[in-house]
Amino acid sequence: MNNNFIVIEGNIGAGKTTLAKKFANEYNAQFIPEDFAENPFLPKFYKNPEKYSFPLELSFLADRFHQLNKEIRNRDLFKSFVISDYYFTKSLIFARNTLSEDEYSLYRRIFDIIYTSLPKPDLYVYLYLDIHNLMKNIKKRGRNYERDIKPEYLDKIQKGYFEYMKQHREKYKFLVIDTNKINFVKNITDYDKIKDVILNKEYKTGINRIII
């Protein structure tokens, strides 16, 4: 494998953190998990998006930049590679779907200033689940602050990711994996399949699609 920095992305409930953590444990990789549990705006946002969307997105922007910049630039040399369950561009995708036009314009200016200084991933993986399965996973894990998430919101986020990939397909290697028919958490065979397509295959710049 020639990828030193891999990003595992996906919609809310897609299983990105679980998969990234499994890879990190198995291959002695440096794992960068998104640290959002302590964000005081998140529960408020799900109940009142219009009021709390801007402070929420700004706080995520600052936290993600600080974490990624620190972890990637101070890489543990005893680890085989770096794997994260999110990337900085996630901030832009979510903000585009939650902020007003004026707020997003200001937010984008701030984003563009700091984005250029971050290292870019060698492979950007997107775990695709349809909205029905995402809602099932969200309900199953039972996080209180996710109870008010609507299917319409998940659909907007999903479309935002695809739009982002289309706009940047000439710059990065995107790997979109349809995981609707597998369970890589409970089924070792399914896990081996998804591990193989992510870690043992080479991909060209652009959007690469696989159904497992």
44: domain CATH number is 3.40.50.300
Q: Which of 55-64, 70-79, 130-139, 157-166 has the lowest mean pLDDT?
A: 70-79
- CA neighbours within 13 Å on the CB side: how many for 104? 12
- Catalytic residue (one of 35, 63, 76, 85): 85
pLDDT computed for residue 1 by the predictor: 67
pLDDT computed for residue 46 by the predictor: 80
Eight-class DSSP state of 30? E
Q: Is 148 a catalytic site residue?
A: no
pLDDT at 42 over 90: no
Amino acid residing at 77? L
pLDDT computed for residue 37 by the predictor: 62
Average pLDDT of the segment spanning 27-33 = 95
Domain count, the chain: 1
Q: How long a stretch of residues is the chain? A: 212
Confidence of residue 180 (pLDDT cuts 50, 70, 90): very high
Q: How far apart are CA 61 and CA 22, in angstroms?
A: 26
In sequence order, what are the beta bridge partners of 84? 7, 32
CB under 8 Å to 207, separation ≥6 — which residues? 165, 166, 169, 174, 176
Q: Which residue range forms the structural domain that includes residue 11?
A: 5-211
pLDDT computed for residue 74 by the predictor: 84
Q: Which of 25-39, 128-142, 164-178 has the lowest mean pLDDT?
A: 25-39
pLDDT computed for residue 84 by the predictor: 95
